[in-house]
């Protein structure tokens, strides 16, 4: 849940710090008081777009900080780990967002800087904001398949993954075939160039790492005389006429004579001297062998220099390293083969495409069958929720259709158009009144009906997506009376499984809240300030009376407001027993 929200210098808010609880929260106030700014702050916290216009006039920056308390098994923790963000599930999750007056934005999760994409990745698991504009997504038929798949994710996940894999393979084969069929005269002209390059690279007989090996050998051959002279001098100094080893041997003999007289101190020195003597002797023998192996070969040096020159020339044309040149050779060998054996490759691709088309058709049919099962369950679930929202006689259906297309793939005996999401055209249909035919939402649904349909869907999906905070910005727009009461009750029930926030102008909704915040504006010294007040019992009665009676609050409206609160408490207790 969201436990705290701090806002500084955002629009007309100078500074606000709000503590939240679990349950149903409402925000009320006059139009223009700043209720939506609270929602804007939450949107920024979960990755919404910010701009300089949001910064309070005369301030350098706006700051928003949110504190979340989440269970260890919540998906956001694994999401954060995948993003490389250190976060301990045993502690709170802190998100901070700053927007400067210049329009620059910075974000931090638990103190770690993140970009907007990372913030959205985490925010998608934390807060779901439903505003009035989101009603319009119900009118976009292309969005309906997304809602259906989200509802039936557990059942269709495997079939959808299989379809996507086949679809990607099919599209890839189509692209390869199209590119090969479009091979032009230009490609035939390239063939001569490719053959020349293949000959040049193949005749070079490149070997990975040979340039480093040859450079080492060149260095030794070019410095053979210096290597020989110094190695020989070192050997002679150790083992020559005035051998250093003779002197060391005499010193070792003296130590051996006296070691027994003072063994505790001299014996370790003797052993150390013996070890040094043998190591020095071994080094002398190795120097002798190294000296004798030194090669004086001007012809070989010339060969190496010519080979290195060739490698340098090829490097300038075909790649910075031998592995790069060999990779280029493999590439032009494949392209040459495709050009020279174009017809054969086309036949193979066409055969592979036909086989993949059969797989894709079967995968599409399986996905469609599962979607039809899920569609029936989704329609039934939405109708159940709509009955609770005073739309008990509304018929709701999820229609799946396929558009015939002779160029498409064959699915269950007919060719249909297909895309990334499958071959199904999904559309939500409803009949608000008995005896009326089912029609698309865009043709018959009113604003109030769309609000309730969206609330019904949010209620259903809240049990699925594990998002802890749901925000409704005037979801009750266009409704009144018993329908408004039904929405209030639904929001109250929904708040038992997640934290619910609602901006509302309806007293029927406000009285059902567990926590009530009043938002109001003040003007002081020609500056506007927005205040947020956590209302107590008397404050709630006064605010409800204002919502009921407008500017003038009378004893009657106060009495009515008190009754509404009492009835709401009774209703919430009743609803609690039904959960």
Q: What are phi and psi of 505, to 5 degrees?
A: -110, 5
Closest CA to 370 of 155, 153, 147: 155
Alpha-carbon distance of 319 to 220, in angstroms, equals 27
The rounded mean pLDDT for the chain is: 86
Write down the pLDDT at residue 525: 77
CB 150 within 8 A of CB 464: yes
pLDDT on residue 301: 85
3-state class (DSSP) for residue 206: coil
Is pLDDT at 577 greater than 90 in this prediction?
no
Q: Quick one: pLDDT at residue 475?
A: 73
DSSP per-residue string spanning 169-194 = HHHHHHHHHHHHHT--HHHHHHHHHH
- Identify each DSSP E strand in 37-163 by its residue range: 61-68, 93-100, 105-109, 112-114, 127-130
Q: Which of 122, 81, 114 is nearest to 98 (CA)?
A: 114
C-alpha to C-alpha distance for 151 and 380, rounded to whole angstroms: 12
Give mean pLDDT, residues 358-370: 93
- Residue 188's pLDDT band, with cuts at 50, 70 and 90, is low
CB 340 within 8 A of CB 180: no
For residue range 44-94, list pLDDT tens digits in order: 999 988 889 899 988 999 999 999 999 888 889 989 988 888 888 888 999
Q: What pTM did the predictor assign?
A: 0.63
Alpha-carbon span 233 to 159, nearest angstrom: 79
Closest CA to 455 of 39, 138, 139, 126: 138
3 state DSSP class of 454: helix
φ, ψ for residue 387, nearest 5 deg:
-60, -35
Rounded-to-integer distance, Cα 406 and Cα 419, Å = 15
Phi and psi at residue 279, in whole multiples of 5°?
A: -65, -40
Residues 253 and 274: beta-carbon distance below 8 Å: no
Contact 193, 332 (CB under 8 A): no
pLDDT greater than 60 at residue 242 = no
Residue 512, pLDDT score: 92
pLDDT given for residue 134 in this prediction: 57
Note the pLDDT tens digit of each residue in 331-361.
Answer: 889 888 777 777 788 888 899 999 999 999 9
- The DSSP bridge partners found for residue 522 are 529
Helix (H, G, I), strand (E, B) or coil at 101: coil
Query: What span, in angstroms and rounded, lies between the C-alpha atoms of 112 and 455?
Result: 36
Q: Find residue 521's DSSP bridge partners.
A: 530
Share of the chain above pLDDT 70, in %: 95
Tens-place pLDDT, residues 513-526:
999 999 988 887 77
Q: What is the pLDDT of residues 308-317, one digit of tens each?
A: 989 988 988 8
Q: How confident is the model at residue 136 (pLDDT cuts 50, 70, 90)?
A: low
For the residues of 8-60, what is the DSSP string, one character each?
A: EEETTEEEEEEE--SSEEEEE-STTSSHHHHHHHHHHHTT----GGGBPTT-S
Q: How does DSSP assign 352-412, residue by residue? A: HHHHHHHHHHHHHHHHHHHHHHHHHHHHHHHHHHHHHTT-TT-EEEEEEE--EEEEEEEET
User: With 60 as the cut, is the pLDDT of residue 20 above it?
Assistant: yes
Please choose, from the candidates 293, 294, 287, 296, the residue with its C-alpha nearest in 3D space to the C-alpha of residue 232. 287
Residue 233 has φ and ψ, to the nearest 5°, of -60, -45
- Check whether 186 has a pLDDT greater than 80: no
Structure confidence by residue, pLDDT tens digits, 260-303: 888 888 888 888 888 888 888 888 888 888 888 888 888 888 88
What pLDDT is recorded for position 141? 85
pLDDT of residue 9: 92
In this predicted model, what pLDDT tens digit does every residue of 82-120 receive, in sequence order?
888 888 888 899 999 999 999 899 999 999 999 999 999
The CATH number assigned to the domain with range 1-126+467-536 reads 3.40.50.300
CA distances from 44 to 14, 39, 47, 63, 536 (A): 17, 9, 5, 10, 29
Q: What is the pLDDT of residues 408-442, one digit of tens each?
A: 787 877 888 888 889 999 999 988 888 888 988 87
pLDDT, residue 132, reads 55
Q: Residues of 528-564 as b/e, b for ≥16 C-beta within 10 angstroms?
A: bbbebeebeeeebbbbbbbbbbeeebeeebbebbbeb
């Amino acid at each position: 849940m969201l436990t705290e929200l701090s806002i500084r210098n955002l629009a007309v808010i100078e500074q606000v710090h709000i503590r939240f609880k679990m349950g149903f929260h409402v925000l009320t106030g006059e139009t223009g008081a700043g209720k939506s700014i609270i929602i804007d702050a939450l949107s920024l916290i979960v990755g919404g777009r910010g701009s300089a216009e949001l910064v309070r006039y005369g301030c350098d920056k706006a700051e928003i900080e949110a504190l979340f308390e989440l269970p260890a098994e919540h998906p956001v923790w694994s999401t954060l780990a995948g993003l490389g963000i250190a976060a301990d599930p045993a502690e709170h999750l802190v998100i901070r967002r700053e927007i400067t007056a210049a329009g620059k934005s910075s974000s931090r999760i638990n103190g770690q800087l993140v970009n907007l994409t990372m913030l959205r990745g985490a925010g998608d698991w934390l807060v779901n904001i439903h505003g009035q504009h989101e009603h319009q997504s119900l009118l976009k038929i292309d969005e309906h398949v997304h809602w259906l798949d989200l509802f039936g994710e557990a059942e269709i996940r495997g079939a959808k993954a299989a379809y996507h894999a086949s679809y990607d393979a099919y599209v890839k084969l189509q692209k390869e075939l199209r590119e090969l069929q479009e091979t032009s005269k230009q490609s035939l002209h390239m063939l001569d160039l490719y053959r020349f390059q293949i000959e040049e690279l193949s005749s070079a007989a490149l070997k990975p790492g040979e340039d480093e090996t040859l450079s080492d050998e060149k260095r030794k051959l070019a410095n053979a005389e210096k290597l020989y002279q110094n190695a020989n001098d070192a050997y002679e100094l150790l083992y020559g006429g005035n051998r250093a080893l003779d002197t060391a041997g005499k010193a070792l003999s003296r130590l051996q004579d006296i070691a027994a007289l003072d063994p505790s101190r001299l014996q370790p020195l003797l052993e150390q001297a013996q070890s040094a003597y043998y190591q020095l002797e071994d080094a002398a023998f190795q120097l002798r062998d190294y000296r004798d192996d030194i090669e004086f070969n001007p012809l070989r040096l010339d060969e190496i220099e010519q080979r290195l020159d060739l490698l340098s020339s090829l490097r300038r044309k075909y790649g910075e390293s031998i592995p790069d040149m060999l990779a280029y050779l493999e590439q032009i060998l494949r392209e040459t083969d495709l050009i020279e054996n174009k017809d054969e490759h086309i036949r193979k691709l066409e055969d592979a495409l036909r086989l993949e088309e059969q797989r894709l058709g079967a995968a599409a049919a399986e996905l469609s069958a599962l979607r039809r099962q899920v569609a029936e369950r989704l329609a039934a679930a939405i109708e159940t929720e709509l009955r609770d929202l005073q739309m008990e006689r509304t018929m709701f259906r999820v229609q799946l259709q396929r558009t015939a297309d002779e160029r498409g793939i064959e699915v269950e005996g007919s060719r249909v158009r297909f895309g990334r999401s499958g071959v199904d055209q999904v559309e939500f249909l409803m009949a608000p009144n008995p005896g009326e035919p089912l029609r698309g939402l865009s043709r018959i649904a009113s604003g109030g009906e769309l609000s309730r349909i969206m609330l019904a869907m949010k209620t259903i999906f809240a049990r699925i997506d594990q998002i802890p905070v749901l925000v409704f910005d005037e979801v009750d727009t266009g409704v009144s009376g018993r329908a408004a009461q039904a929405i209030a009750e639904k929001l109250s029930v929904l708040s038992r499984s997640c934290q619910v926030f609602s901006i509302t102008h309806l007293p029927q909704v406000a009285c059902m809240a567990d926590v009530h915040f009043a938002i109001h504006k003040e003007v002081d010294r020609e500056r506007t300030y927005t205040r947020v007040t956590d209302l107590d019992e008397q404050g709630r009665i006064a605010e409800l009376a204002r919502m009921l009676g407008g500017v003038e609050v009378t004893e009657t409206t106060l009495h009515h407001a008190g009754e509404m609160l009492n009835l709401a408490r009774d209703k919430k207790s009743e609803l609690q027993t039904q959960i």
